[in-house]
Amino acid sequence: AQSVAQPEDQVNVAEGNPLTVKCTYSVSGNPYLFWYVQYPNRGLQFLLKYITGDNLVKGSYGFEAEFNKSQTSFHLKKPSALVSDSALYFCAVRDKVGTGGFKTIFGAGTRLFVKA
Amino acid sequence: GAVVSQHPSRVICKSGTSVKIECRSLDFQATTMFWYRQFPKQSLMLMATSNEGSKATYEQGVEKDKFLINHASLTLSTLTVTSAHPEDSSFYICSARDSRSSGANVLTFGAGSRLTVL
């Protein structure tokens, strides 16, 4: 089965500094990888995905992620953090189910705190 | 963009009663919807995959008879927590994918339903 791991429960960064939220994956075959964000009192929102193509994927709110096959990583990055980026971030992978079906498996989540 | 509506957002019930949570795709058809459960400070745990017109596929360890899922139309899936007990108190989240769009791999989530069983 496919899985993702987020080694950090929490990441603290000062506003204006670059941020990285780590994710490693374990898949058989080509990975379909995603990042989602959960803001307080709001539903999860899609940030970005990697299916194929360029290893550097750009997403919403200035976030990007780099797919690194040799390190089996898909770290989320942003050059300059904002206080409003403080939220819970989930890495996810698509796992095949049966014939033609799939399900999405989420990592444990990483809480990002951006301090002003 | 795709929107998923989930209702109710909060529900409090007595132990032993049943609670129904609805998940609707508002502007797209969803042949498949997913139900997740999120514990405090924990990740989303996939409970089941809801398939329109057929039985749901439950994840290992999820009680089918306790968490009844019905996906009667292309825009509506319901989760019924039967004979709820305090340990069922949790945050339940549904999601769906618009299978017709190029973003078919992306999930759109409802805002979640917080269930408290007294």
**pLDDT tens digits, B1-57:** 788 999 999 999 999 999 999 999 998 888 889 999 998 777 889 999 998 888 899
- Inform me whether the C-beta atom of residue B32 falls under 8 Å from chain A C-beta atoms: yes
Taking residues B110-116, report their average pLDDT: 95
CB atoms A104 and B49 under 8 Å: no
How far is Cα of residue B104 from the mean position of the Cα atoms in its chain?
A: 19
The model's confidence at residue B101, banded by pLDDT at 50, 70 and 90, is low
pLDDT score of B102 more than 60:
no
pLDDT of amino acid A21: 98
pLDDT of amino acid B103: 60
Q: Mean pLDDT in runs of 10 for chain A (116 residues)? A: 90 98 90 91 89 92 95 97 96 81 88 96
- Inform me whether the C-beta atom of residue B109 falls under 8 Å from chain A C-beta atoms: yes
pLDDT of amino acid B29: 87
pLDDT score of B62 more than 70:
yes
pLDDT of amino acid B114: 95
Cα–Cα distance list, B71 to B34, B51, B63 (Å): 11, 6, 17
Taking residues B89-105, report their average pLDDT: 80
CB atoms A32 and B105 under 8 Å: yes
Burial classification of residue A100, based on how many CB atoms lie within 10 Å of its CB (0-12 exposed, 13-18 middle, 19 or more buried): exposed
- Using left for φ > 0, alpha for ψ between -120 and 50, and beta otherwise, residue A114 falls in beta
pLDDT of amino acid A61: 92
CB atoms B43 and A43 under 8 Å: no
Cα–Cα distance list, B11 to B20, B26, B30, B58, B76 (Å): 10, 22, 25, 23, 19
Helix (H, G, I), strand (E, B) or coil at B98: coil
pLDDT of amino acid B105: 75
pLDDT of amino acid A112: 97
The model's confidence at residue B68, banded by pLDDT at 50, 70 and 90, is very high
Percent composition of chain A: helix, strand, coil (DSSP 3-state, to 5): 5, 55, 40
Tell me if A23 sits within 8 A of A4, measured CB to CB.
Answer: yes
- The shortest C-alpha distance from A15 to chain B (Å) reads 24
